Structure 1
Amino acid sequence: MLTITQAFVVLIIFLLIVEFFKLQKARKQFPPGPAPLPLLGNLVHLKFQFHRDLLMELAKTHGNIYTLWFGWAPVIILNGYQAVKDGMTTHPEDVSGRMVSPFFRAMAKGKGIILASGRSWKQQRRFGIMTLRCLGMGKKGLEYRVQEEASHLVDFFVNLKGRPVDPSFPLFHSISNVICALVFGYHFSDEDKTFHELISATETLFRFAGSFVHQLYEIFPWLVCRLPGPHKKALSCYDVLSSFARKEIRRHVERGIPDEPQDFIDFYLAEMEKSKDGAKPKYDEDNLVYVINDLFLGGSETSSTTLYWGLLYMVVNPDIQEKVQKELDAVLGPSQLICYEDRRKLPYTNAVVHEIQRFSNIVFVGMPRMCVRDTTLLGFPVKKGTIIMPNIASVLYDPEQWETPRQFNPGHFLDKEGNFIPREAFLPFSAGHRVCLGEHLARTELFIFFANLLRAFTFRLPEGVTKINTEPIFGGTLQPHPYSVCAIPR
């Protein structure tokens, strides 16, 4: 006779075997991939981390469209330029949904822009694009804000007089002040206590995203959400951002909506007033809070992290830094205001900025999409509700598209005569209907900030420092290891 413990063990083994065969049957409906295990799916194959190189390695065995399982959830991975481009743009409407995973559902409730889907996403995104254009995106008005912040950043480094500094905070402060001016109508000083709280909350959120505990939360939300851990802190940090957004909304409401809206919140509140008599208002305070969070997070973290990598690459490649400076000196006057349009006269500088984006590849895997209807993906039938994940790293490092994909090489964007050439495989902002709505702002910021810094300073390692770590820290974005530089006035 079996004891109760032995019977329980036999039952568990039996259930696991049943689950295994159920998974083997289910996986036949999807593109091929490594065989999943009960409960864990393919986490063992991924070594319990979502690493860009592992995803590319799996594609060598299973092809450029394959399936990974996270518990019982299948995720179709697109690998390489052709697969990502075709998958995201052949039927862009079909794959325009957003997978609202358990953690992100707990965080943003499926509202806002980045983590929303369906009709609500379309409305909020359309309104966001139109309003940012009204506030100057793509025009000289917004470019002036970028130039102003770039000038403040140059002044910050001038005041250091060549002393070593970790540039992470000043870069984040200056970049985020551009989006803050658009959304809130004012800038933060670098000593503002509230601003430091927002930065700390942002850093915690991005560190948590993609971590092992984050992955566990997505697979076992019913268990992990009841346990203490870093997920609790991450959610509380998002609440810090939401609380600040609500305070700003109240401040705007108390001030009253001006006849001519001055910032994003003004425009949104005016739209709320227009639609309040509808059967189901399209615009409400909750959506506004989450849209503000999306704009602040998306408009601060990505561009500042890219510039953080950019200064690192200039220190590691002083010859490239010198070539940029020679071109800037030859084309621009020492006090001339640098405009985004100047990129056409500065092909090498423009190529270096593009290569910084390509090589740093800070959003190494694109945000997951979801099929909103039955469709066909690279010849495979895919059902509504299936999760699609474009591996952006595999596009930016595709050996069929880039001559030296694993080297920092501005020549990727230059022809034999030294003219700038755009590349189709340059997709750091993703592709299809979910392409980043702040792409133009980010391009403008990166070029103007980078050109201003390189014209004013030569960046070097502090005295006595001979090595610097160029490997990324994995999280919501790929961050450099903290480092210090000396900005030597030219």
Structure 2
Amino acid sequence: MTMINLNNVTCGLVGLATFTLVLFYIKYAWKKRIMPPGPLPVPILGNVLQLYSKGLIPYVLKMAEKYGPVYTLYFGSRPTVIVTGYQTVKEVLVDLGDTFLDRGTIPVFERFYDKRGLPLSNGESWKQLRQFSLITLKDFGMGRKTLEEPMQEEAHHLVEYFRNTKGQPVNPSTIFSCASSNIISSILVGKRYDYADEKWMKILQDMRDSFELISSPWGQLYDAIPHILKYLPGPHRRIFPLLLNLKEIVKDSVSSHQETLDPTCPRDYIDCFLIRMEQETLDPKTCFEKTNLISTVFDMFLGGAETTSVTINFGVLNLIKYPDVQEKLHEEIDHVIGHAREPKVEDRNQMPYMNAVIHEIQRISDAIPMGCIRSTTRDVNLHGYRIPKGTDVLPVLTTVLRDSSQFETPEVFNIKHFLDENGKFKKNNGFMPFAAGKRACIAESLVRMELFIFFTTLLQKFTLKSSEDPKELNIAPTERGIENIPPTHEVIFIPRQ
């Protein structure tokens, strides 16, 4: 009798599994009629096994070769339309920008931000938060000459720090993170952190470690099947604890601002947000509330410190690997600025070579290779395929920055991508490190100023070298996922005067 019951249970489970499998593929076949083509997914996991075995970016690029610039991958049970190449990404982000304006599903960041704040908002809430943030950041100097002085001051601190290394090799990664974080911190919370602040430096290192995990295969697995991975052991479980201290600092800063707020004299972004909160306290639909504030400031810290410092780190490594480029930069700096006065943002107009080098550094470093996922605001036809409203769409930025139709040698560091035959700076349509359209990076103008001041000041004062032969220096990313992670190398800062 027991054996008969066991057989019945087994048959029932097999029947349920078969029914679920058939139902999955019927649903998949129905969607496949209108959705872009793509590799066959499996139930629950989707295309995760291929992504994990081959790596996210290599697999995405390989599928683009097979299926073309528009195709579908399944991140778990979640269908995502992948968009590659300059022409198609431009079509999605710019030409049809309003149709692809919503933020798509990003499980790892949804957990970071409690599904709130500027980076994850959509619709009217996103419009209000973005407009408020743009105006407020500009009021506190973003993209304007008023922010030049804090950048020059921070560059001065960098020079003093590296001068005190007395020509000894040093890993500058966390110092660059701190310098970058101080620029955005001056706007958000009106504070600068010292390089000797061990607690803050530990928080920045934890942030870098977290992003390395997010970009690893384990982090990519979590983003694809979070409902499974959150219950399983593995390195991905360290992603979130590593960022808790930064989030607590943001929360404490908001609380401190609330206690000392003077509505007639706002000191920074947080003060301005709190004042707006007070003004709209009786509006039940307002997006100006504390959780949105914390998540927005948290995101700006992550972007301002991490992404910019990644670009600076890759930039320094490229300048060491190509000493002839560094030599030409020294010549241009000496000619335009000299050794005595501090570099100014207005010098950029007279320094086409420096401008081209920074653009090429941003292109080749490719800090956020996968870009940020979008979602369709309505049904849309793209390249002959019907994409339903609410479908996740991923414009892959690395395929724009390395598009051979826009760049002569896309895989090679080449200053000529941004210089014409007369040595003048030239724009390139494929330059999209900040994405494009209405949802492009809100801090683009700040980052551009920051990179110019930091690189120009460092090269005015130092020659950058490594104990390794430049030709043997491996500067390939150690991880390529949501972020490109630069390799760890010690740098020698040799004073020029």
Report TM bin, short chain.
over 0.9
Equivalent residue for 2:312, pick from 299, 303, 307 = 307
Tell me the residue number matched to 1:54. Answer: 59
Superposition map of 1:60-209 within 5 A: 60-209=65-214
- Are the aligned partners of 1:137 and 1:441 in contact in 2 as well (CA < 8 Å)? yes
Deviation at 1:41, TM superposition (A): 1.8
| Distance (whole Å) between structure 2 residues aligned to residue 203 and residue 360 of structure 1 | 16
2:325 paired with 1:293: no
Note if 1:480 corresponds to 2:491: no
CA contact (8 A) 2:213 2:239 kept: yes
- CA separation of 1:274/1:18 partners in 2, compared to 1, >3 Å: closer, same or farther? closer
User: Following the alignment from structure 2 to structure 1, what is the Cα–Cα distance between the partners of residues 400 and 379?
Assistant: 26
Matches within 5 A, 1:455-470: 455-462=460-467, 467-470=472-475
On the 8 A contact 1:88/1:431 being kept in 2, the answer is: yes
**416, 419, 428: which one aligns with 2:421:** 416
Of 234-243 and 117-126, deviating more is: 234-243
- The answer to which of 159-168 and 468-477 deviates more is 468-477
Tell me, in whole angstroms, the C-alpha distance in 2 between the residues paired with 1:219 and 1:364: 17
Q: Which amino acid aligns with 1:489?
A: P
Contact 2:463 2:495 in 1 (8 A): yes
1:428 and 2:433 equivalent? yes
Deviation at 1:73, TM superposition (A): 1.3
Is 1:265 paired with 2:233? Answer: no
Q: Is the 8 A contact 2:376 2:389 kept in 1?
A: yes
- Aligned 8 A contact 2:178 2:201 in 1: no
**Where does structure 2 lack aligned partners over 5 or more consecutive residues?**
none
- Check the 8 A contact 1:328/1:451 in 2, yes or no: yes
Q: Is the 8 A contact 1:208 1:476 kept in 2?
A: no
Aligned positions, number: 490
- In structure 2, how many angstroms separate the alpha carbons of the residues matched to 1:120 and 1:195? 32
Is contact 1:183–1:292 with CA below 8 Å preserved after alignment? yes
Structure 1 pair 417–220 and aligned structure 2 pair: CA distance change class (3 A): closer
- For 1:68, give the aligned amino acid: L
Aligned-partner SS, 2:239: helix
Give the aligned residue type for 1:345. Answer: Q
| Aligned equivalents of 2:468, 2:62: Cα separation in 1 | 40
User: Is residue 158–residue 489 contact of structure 1 (8 Å, CA) maintained in 2?
Assistant: yes
SS at match of 1:160: coil
Q: What is the DSSP-based 3-state SS (H/G/I as helix, E as strand, rest coil) of the residue aligned with 2:74?
A: strand
| Distance (whole Å) between structure 1 residues aligned to residue 284 and residue 471 of structure 2 | 65
SS in 1 for 2:472: coil
Closer/same/farther in 2, CA of residues 282 and 42 from structure 1, 3 Å limit: closer
Q: TM-score if structure 1 supplies the norm length?
A: 0.94
* Contact 2:48-2:224 at 8 Å conserved across structures: no
Residues 53-74 of structure 1: CA distance to partner in whole angstroms, max 9, x if unpaired? 3322221211111111122211
**Deviations 1:217-242 (Å, cap 9, x if unpaired)?**
34443333234444443223333222
- Which residue of the partner structure matches residue 454 of structure 1? 459
Matches within 5 A, 1:225-374: 225-257=230-262, 259-374=264-379
Say whether the 8 Å CA contact 1:49–1:212 is kept in structure 2.
Answer: no
**Per the alignment, do residues 49 and 211 of structure 1 end up closer, same or farther by CA in structure 2, a change over 3 Å counting?**
farther
Distance in 1 (CA, whole Å) between partners of 2:417 and 2:489 is: 27
Residue 5 of structure 1 and its aligned partner are, at CA, apart by 8.0
User: Residue 439 of structure 1 aligns with which residue?
Assistant: 444
Amino acid at match of 2:89: V
Identical amino acids, percent of aligned pairs: 37
2:401 matched residue in structure 1? 396
Asked if 1 retains the 8 angstrom alpha-carbon contact of 2:330 and 2:459, the reply is yes
Provide, for residues 1-22 of structure 1, a one-character-per-residue CA deviation record: whole Å limited to 9, x for no partner: 9946863456535643543343
1:153 shift after superposition: 0.5
* More displaced stretch, 304-313 vs 140-149: 140-149
Query: Does the 8 A contact of 2:203 with 2:243 survive in 1?
Result: no
Q: Which amino acid in the other structure matches residue 396 of structure 2?
A: N
Deviation per CA, 1:335-378, whole angstroms, max 9, x where unpaired? 22212221111111110100000011110011100112222334
Mark the CA change 1:18 to 1:265 in structure 2 (over 3 Å): closer, same or farther: closer
2:39 matched to which residue of 1?
Answer: 34
CA 1:220 to 1:403, structure 2 compared with 1: closer, same or farther past 3 Å? closer
- Inter-partner Cα distance in structure 2 for 1:227 and 1:53: 26
Q: What's the secondary structure of 1:34's corresponding residue?
A: coil
Q: Which residue of 2 aligns with 1:489?
A: 495
- The answer to which of 170-179 and 47-56 deviates more is 47-56
Inter-partner Cα distance in structure 1 for 2:402 and 2:470:
30
SS of residue matched to 1:147? helix
- CA shift in 2, pair 1:426/1:176, >3 Å: same
The residue type equivalent to 2:414 in the other structure is N
Q: Sort the Cα spacing of 1:321 and 1:4 in 2 relative to 1 into closer, same or farther, 3 A.
A: farther
Q: Distance in 1 between matches of 2:214 and 2:54?
A: 12
Q: Secondary structure at the match of 2:389?
A: coil
CA–CA separation in structure 2 for the residues paired with 1:47 and 1:190: 38
Say what the alpha-carbon RMSD is for the aligned residues. Answer: 2.1
Q: Assess if the C-alpha contact under 8 Å between 1:177 and 1:188 holds in 2.
A: yes
1:477: how far off? 1.6
Letter in 2 for 1:106: R
The alpha-carbon deviation at position 127 of structure 1 amounts to 1.1
Moved more, 241-250 or 445-454: 241-250
Which residue identity lines up with residue 371 of structure 1 in the other structure? T
